[in-house]
């Protein structure tokens, strides 16, 4: 996660939590003069369109006052979905035994992409089993991680576990 995304998370977290939601993650995608700010919210009973609208209204007010993003941007608020991206180290523990896709900022043992079974978290490392090898990947080197959507609920055609 970038420094800007961390700052946005710190800025928006209290507002989202005051509305009764968990701030799952923040993505800021710069696209020339116009960018997209995605705010992902979560709660145990799920997320509705009305929830997204309520959070969007409050987050928009905070962004208008604090003005943390230069230029024009589109604010999107949504659930992280079933094939969710993982933003924080604490989120990995919720998906032990699931298949995840990871991309690192720089190569680790000669590779940047890993797809395997999430085995655990040890300190600041994420443990992923790829075939017969376990990798301890430092969390701060992970550029992007996403839980793979199981095939039996609309995934990519792989066998259900």
pLDDT digits (tens, 9 = 90+) for 65-108: 988 888 889 999 999 988 899 999 999 999 999 999 999 999 98
Shortest CA distance to 89 belongs to which of 20, 142, 11, 16? 142
Is 159 within a domain?
no
Is the same domain home to 140 and 96?
yes
Point out the domain boundary residue: 78, 111, 140: 78
Distances, alpha carbon 24 to alpha carbons 34, 38, 56, 138, 161, in Å: 24, 11, 14, 20, 26
Give the β-pairing of 34-42 and 72-78: parallel
- The predicted-structure confidence for 139-154, as pLDDT tens digits, reads as follows 999 999 999 876 655 4
Give the β-pairing of 125-130 and 99-108: unpaired
Q: How many structural domains comprise the chain?
A: 2
Is the same domain home to 92 and 61?
no
Is the same domain home to 47 and 95?
no
Point out the domain boundary residue: 17, 45, 78: 78
Helix (H, G, I), strand (E, B) or coil at 123: coil
Is the same domain home to 129 and 107?
yes
Put simply, whether the predicted model's pTM sits higher than 0.85 gets the answer: no
Is 157 within a domain?
no
Measure the CA–CA gap between 26 and 12, rounded to whole angstroms: 9
């Amino acid at each position: 996660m970038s420094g800007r995304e961390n700052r946005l998370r710190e800025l928006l977290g209290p507002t989202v939590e005051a509305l009764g939601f968990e701030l799952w993650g923040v993505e800021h995608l710069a696209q020339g003069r116009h960018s997209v700010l995605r705010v992902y919210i979560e709660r145990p009973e799920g997320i509705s369109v009305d929830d997204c609208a309520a959070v969007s209204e409050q987050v928009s007010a905070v962004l208008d006052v604090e003005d943390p993003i230069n230029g024009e941007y589109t604010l999107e608020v949504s659930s992280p979905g079933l094939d969710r991206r993982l933003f924080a180290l604490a989120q990995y523990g919720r998906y032990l035994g699931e298949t995840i896709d990871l991309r690192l900022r720089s190569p680790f043992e000669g590779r940047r992409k890993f797809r395997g079974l999430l085995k655990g978290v040890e300190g600041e490392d994420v443990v992923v089993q790829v075939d017969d090898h376990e990798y301890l990947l430092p969390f701060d080197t992970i550029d992007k991680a996403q839980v793979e959507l199981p095939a039996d609920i609309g995934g990519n055609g792989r066998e259900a576990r």
